Structure 1
Amino acid sequence: MNQPTVSQRLAQLRSQMAEHRLDAYIATNYDPHASEYSAAHWLARQWITGFTGSAGEAVILPEGGGLWTDGRYYIQAEEQLSGSGLDLFKARLPETPSIPQWLADTLPSQSRIGVDGRTISYHFYLSLQAAVAGKGIDIVLTHDLIGAVWADRPARPATPVFNHPLKYAGLTTAQKLSQVRQLMSQDSVDELLVSTLDDVMWALNIRGGDTLYSPISESYLLLSETHATLFIDLQKLPTDVAAHLETQGVTCQPYEEIATALSGLAAGRHFRCCDLHTDALLVSKLPDTVTLSHRLSYFTELKAIKNETELCNMKESLRLDGIAMVKFMHWLDQQVPGGSVTELNAEQQLQAFRSQQPTYIGDSFRTIAGFAAHGAKMHYAADIESNANVDEPNFFLVDSGGQYLGGTTDITRTFSFGQLSEQQRTDYTLVLKAVIRLTQTRFLKGSTGANLDIMARGVLWQHGIDYKCGTGHGVGLCLNVHEGPQNFSQSHKEVALEPNMVITNEPGVYREGEYGVRIENIMQVVECEETEFGAFYGFETLTLAPIATQALDLEMLDNTEKQWLNTYHAQVYAVLNEALTLQERNWLQTATAPV
């Protein structure tokens, strides 16, 4: 069966819009939980526009429309939208209007905006409502128009969940629920809806398989002082998982019953949810007699600070990942000179090395293996048509990660196998300097990622270079590779960094049409000292893998930076060498030799 083209899909959608008297239709890739990586069933924006990036929303008009995505995907989006008639809106730039602003400015009064209300958050709905206020514009949440024209839409996932043992979790479900109930009591919250999937999984010490890259499962947790109920497709709930949850005080009901449970809440109850991760259609089911408040989930905040058991397991997972990375790097050095390495077979080989490690269950995201100009696309994914041979004259950027029962990993290394230009060597060295500068930063308690982003980015700014993404993000524990609330970015999310948070450090240089350079490590926030001026924190690097040194301009590194690199490489060798073959060990010894 031939797949309809993007133009044909848009024509079918516009026919549905006309039938339902809609003047605009919003398409997202979000499931009802606003997950970053949704199951294939929910990838409506991708299907209707042809744009495959993980971030972005589309607005379809009877004629034209647009796609909003961030700086990681500008290049990719321009290519994939070509010929669709949809404009690219570069989100997060000052001159780019948000979707609500653009719709308010574009649509005439009395228009009707349609959307599958399950696929937009309550937060987005409120911003849309505020933007069009006073124009008599209706927002209709009940139309899944793309579902009506997507003939071979994948079914919703049905993979069973499984218990995540206490030896990895460190705390029982009952202990976690008790912690949150204390916080609810302090805030006078009667009913808490947990809709963020990684929060549900973490709270209940279970994991799922709804997506390729994150072990989550579509579900809700409704918590009060006296009850805890998991709403999930009961076909996905094995007997042993249900029995264990019962011992922790958790009952289970069918997924779709959550709407009934919310609509039946007693008058006067204080109900709280996270407006960023609860869908607008579900919130509309709440009775008017219930008091509604919204904030970031308590579980999100608790989950961000790893307990000692989690940290121990995270470090072991990064050790296993480091072994796989060294095997991969050794393989690259052997195979690239013979001309047999491509982006795709490099990705496959790295996955094979990871799969040899105990407790590995899958990749944490689609590997970005970008040679030369492909490396400038921050979230590039090779396919048969784009698959490039990796040869000597340019950079090969590989950003990858694994899911292990004890932790989630995310690492980027940039390789080169031949003579580089002065600009290339400068760019590579600047990126390493940025990594080192942020790693060595000490900061006062209460500092946020927004405060510290400049420590890495500023190294590049001094040379007139910037990157259109954040510098780092939190990382889950056998959960989402991008985990909040902490991050390094220029956004205004003022979340203080606290001891035992883990966060990536990944500045880069991306020269469109030429190459990309990125180096990424995972770090742990640690306590340093307390003086009369306050408590000071710093970072400990947890990632264990060599950083290529042949591309460096050593004249650009000062003695402190060289010392940091040499100390780091000595640690990498000491921790990993015994798990390697003699040939791999000899290679690692050379790769980590002092500069």
Structure 2
Amino acid sequence: MSTHEARLAALREQMKKQELTGFIVPICDEHMSEYIGNYAQRLEWLTGFGGSAGTAVVMAESAAIFTDGRYTIQVRDQVDGRHYDYVGIADQSVTAWLGDHAREGDVIGYDAWLHTRAFVTALEKALAKKGARAVAVESNPIDAVWADQPERSDAPMVVHPAEFAGKSAEDKRNDVAEWLKTEGHDAVIVSALDSVAWLFNVRGDDVLHTPVALSYALVHQDGSADLFVAPKKLTDAVRAHLGNKVAVHDYVAFPSALAELTGKSVAVDPERAVAAIFQTLTDAGAQISEKRDPTVLAKAVKNDTEVSGHRSAQARDGAALSRFLHWFSVEAPKGGQDELSVAARLQQFREDTGALKDLSFDTISGASSNGAICHYRVSEETNLPITMNSLYLVDSGGQYLDGTTDVTRTMAVGEPTAEMRKRFTQVLQGHIALACAIFPKGTTGGQLDALARQYLWADGVDYAHGTGHGVGSYLGVHEGPQRIASFGGMNEPLVPGMICSNEPGYYKTDEYGIRIENLVLVEERAVEGAEQSMLGFDTLTFAPIDRTLIEVVMLSKAQLGWVNRYHKKVMQVVGPQLEGEALAWLTAACAPLGE
């Protein structure tokens, strides 16, 4: 019996002990985080799936794993199809599947600290039609059978200095207090880890690649706050920074604090607060109002200090990436390199800056066919060599005190095929179309998404991921509420100060992948004769785009001009940071095309 088969059997035995006929296992923690601590990696422990989004449903005699289009290939590589059915979430939701597979009398368990209230409501409705019921478990059955489950991190919380934050924590809390007064609420619950970190100007090391600390907050109408964090994580410096208007409590005291809000009007974010929070408040007799966490938009709209810091981080990161691209151009054709060795070398270039705090996510280092897996994560088992006449895709980023970076480059090793050049150029055309977009105030990412896809669509192909996501300021590499996509957050208007990615791609299964990603800043645009306020994007990321993959004849004059202007700016930003052979390589890589 394989390891994951044995774990599945152990879970089913535990389910029997807890009188459950089914159990739902999401990738999630108590804060609805995208990236979670090791202690919360229950789905990966159970199934072997290492993606960042997915859910399994385990029944007594069957099981299914649900993923989105990013993980169609990966889930089949990592999860045994003999034990789990593969279900695309776009084809059937978890609740719809249970509505089809549950039988009368079934008891489906879920952990209320790992799901939204909306999910629980949909689950209860789907099961009721079959005469089954959903039950919030008192203890997660995975935890009962996971013998070596890691403990929660005890890394200390740290102060995020004002020179990088640009606004004091007290001023931020006062803004929230004014919002509470306007909305007529006594308090708001802040449960998302990045929201707590931003609001209090603190950071942590509890989640890999995301500088946050496990914590909750309750902010009141007078600007005071209760912060819930493990006492061992608090240093004297952090206590002094928080000040006397912030009362500190143990992390585990949060549920009991909710139970004391009887009669209070409390704002709770339905997308970021788990079902258990709503249920505890309901049981306490609090007046619940579903409102978006007031820090979410404020955090997304970067202040001048954050924008300036991000530009510095991007310039530093762009130089590290350019040094890597030079190294890759020399070493890859020699042979002897693979996905792991190349990713390690890229990380070393970033570490050589002396400013890197962490990677911003696990580097996507995809050679040949692995590049076709959108969110591929290299391991010893999947590691491929870098071979001649192939494509290599690397999506990577760094966490710096002054900013978070995320950039993707695709490079040819040897001679690319005509098809590779065509697809790469179509992706580039879409990237340019989005980078050059001018749009009215109030435009959403959903309205812009097609700009990046149009050249691929014209050829009958597409990509199965969003075109852009928000990025934090020394926080999450994926940050809402804005997205450039036809799904998930597509209705959020873009606002000056927001930072987004611009990352169209193309993926040919079992052959190669292409993605070109820069970060862009939403800013106001002066348009002569305009009758309304207009916005556009300022590109922030600077590193060469592989000219050997560009089919120049496919580019319009305007598109060619964009490429040449972009490479000229790369030379201006990155060139002064390089020297010797690396600078000579950069000069050649950024030479004007079409001349």
TM-score (norm 2): 0.97
Look up the match of 2:421: 425
Look up the match of 2:567: 569
Look up the match of 1:15: 13
SS of the residue 1:214 aligns to: coil
Look up the match of 1:36: 34
Post-superposition shift, 1:187? Answer: 1.0
Of 298-307 and 377-386, deviating more is 377-386
Counterpart-to-counterpart distance in 2, 1:202 and 1:56: 27
Alignment partner of 1:271 is 2:266:
yes
SS of the residue 1:25 aligns to: strand
Alignment partner of 1:503 is 2:500:
yes
Amino acid in the other structure paired with 2:526: E
Q: Is the 8 A contact 1:372 1:514 kept in 2?
A: yes
Within-5 A mapping of 1:137-156: 137-156=133-152
1:463-484 C-alpha deviation (Å, 9 max, x unpaired): 1111111001000011000000
Counterpart-to-counterpart distance in 2, 1:336 and 1:456: 30
Counterpart-to-counterpart distance in 2, 1:391 and 1:104: 48
Over 3 Å counting, the alpha-carbon distance change for 1:217 and 1:84 in structure 2 is: farther
Amino acid in the other structure paired with 2:116: S
Look up the match of 1:45: 43
Of 23-32 and 471-480, deviating more is 23-32
Amino acid in the other structure paired with 1:125: V
2:373 to 372, 377, 395: 377
Of 98-107 and 375-384, deviating more is 98-107
Counterpart-to-counterpart distance in 1, 2:442 and 2:326: 42
Over 3 Å counting, the alpha-carbon distance change for 1:492 and 1:390 in structure 2 is: closer
Counterpart-to-counterpart distance in 1, 2:194 and 2:551: 42
Look up the match of 1:448: 444
Amino acid in the other structure paired with 1:515: Y
1:236 to 209, 233, 238: 233
SS of the residue 1:485 aligns to: strand
Q: Is the 8 A contact 1:369 1:399 kept in 2?
A: yes
Look up the match of 1:587: 585
Look up the match of 1:352: 348
1:171 to 167, 170, 183: 167
Counterpart-to-counterpart distance in 2, 1:128 and 1:277: 18
Amino acid in the other structure paired with 1:114: G
Look up the match of 2:526: 529
Over 3 Å counting, the alpha-carbon distance change for 1:131 and 1:289 in structure 2 is: same
1:3-36 C-alpha deviation (Å, 9 max, x unpaired): 9611111111111111222111001221100111
Of 139-148 and 316-325, deviating more is 139-148
1:499-535 C-alpha deviation (Å, 9 max, x unpaired): 1110000000000000000000000011113655311
Counterpart-to-counterpart distance in 1, 2:116 and 2:137: 11
Post-superposition shift, 1:193? Answer: 0.4
Look up the match of 2:23: 25
1:327 to 323, 326, 331: 323
1:121 to 90, 96, 116: 116
Post-superposition shift, 1:288? Answer: 4.9
Q: Is the 8 A contact 2:36 2:208 kept in 1?
A: no
Counterpart-to-counterpart distance in 2, 1:266 and 1:28: 31
SS of the residue 1:365 aligns to: coil
SS of the residue 1:125 aligns to: helix
Counterpart-to-counterpart distance in 1, 2:369 and 2:132: 48
Alignment partner of 1:285 is 2:280:
yes
1:192-218 C-alpha deviation (Å, 9 max, x unpaired): 000000000000000000122100111
Post-superposition shift, 1:83? Answer: 4.3
2:512 to 511, 515, 519: 515
Of 573-582 and 298-307, deviating more is 573-582
Counterpart-to-counterpart distance in 1, 2:291 and 2:76: 35
Q: Is the 8 A contact 2:469 2:479 kept in 1?
A: yes
Counterpart-to-counterpart distance in 2, 1:222 and 1:340: 54
Q: Is the 8 A contact 2:110 2:134 kept in 1?
A: no
Post-superposition shift, 1:151? Answer: 0.7
Q: Is the 8 A contact 2:178 2:221 kept in 1?
A: no
% identical aligned pairs: 37
* Equivalent residue pairs, number: 588
Q: Is the 8 A contact 2:333 2:414 kept in 1?
A: no
Counterpart-to-counterpart distance in 2, 1:195 and 1:133: 30
1:353-386 C-alpha deviation (Å, 9 max, x unpaired): 1112243101000000101000000111212222
Amino acid in the other structure paired with 2:540: L
Look up the match of 1:105: 100
Look up the match of 2:211: 215
Amino acid in the other structure paired with 2:71: Y
Of 512-521 and 11-20, deviating more is 11-20
Counterpart-to-counterpart distance in 1, 2:57 and 2:329: 46
SS of the residue 2:253 aligns to: helix
1:400-426 C-alpha deviation (Å, 9 max, x unpaired): 000000110000000002112111110
Runs of at least 4 residues off by over 4 Å: none
Across the aligned residues of Structure 1 and Structure 2, the Cα RMSD in angstroms comes to 1.4
Q: Is the 8 A contact 1:32 1:119 kept in 2?
A: yes
Q: Is the 8 A contact 1:359 1:406 kept in 2?
A: no
Look up the match of 2:558: 560
Q: Is the 8 A contact 1:500 1:525 kept in 2?
A: yes
Note the residue ranges of structure 2 that are not aligned, 5 or more in a row: none
Counterpart-to-counterpart distance in 1, 2:255 and 2:587: 59
Q: Is the 8 A contact 1:369 1:380 kept in 2?
A: yes
Q: Is the 8 A contact 2:260 2:284 kept in 1?
A: no
Amino acid in the other structure paired with 1:147: D
Counterpart-to-counterpart distance in 1, 2:275 and 2:197: 22
Look up the match of 2:405: 409
Q: Is the 8 A contact 1:124 1:276 kept in 2?
A: no
SS of the residue 1:251 aligns to: strand
Counterpart-to-counterpart distance in 2, 1:19 and 1:259: 26
Alignment partner of 1:546 is 2:541:
no
Counterpart-to-counterpart distance in 1, 2:221 and 2:183: 12
1:431-468 C-alpha deviation (Å, 9 max, x unpaired): 10010011111111111000000110122111111111
Of 355-364 and 281-290, deviating more is 281-290
Look up the match of 2:300: 304
Amino acid in the other structure paired with 1:581: E
Q: Is the 8 A contact 1:230 1:250 kept in 2?
A: yes
Counterpart-to-counterpart distance in 2, 1:537 and 1:251: 42
Counterpart-to-counterpart distance in 1, 2:110 and 2:142: 9
Post-superposition shift, 1:84? Answer: 4.3
Amino acid in the other structure paired with 1:151: A
Counterpart-to-counterpart distance in 1, 2:123 and 2:183: 28
Counterpart-to-counterpart distance in 1, 2:394 and 2:403: 20
Within-5 A mapping of 1:164-203: 164-203=160-199
SS of the residue 1:360 aligns to: coil
Over 3 Å counting, the alpha-carbon distance change for 1:480 and 1:548 in structure 2 is: same
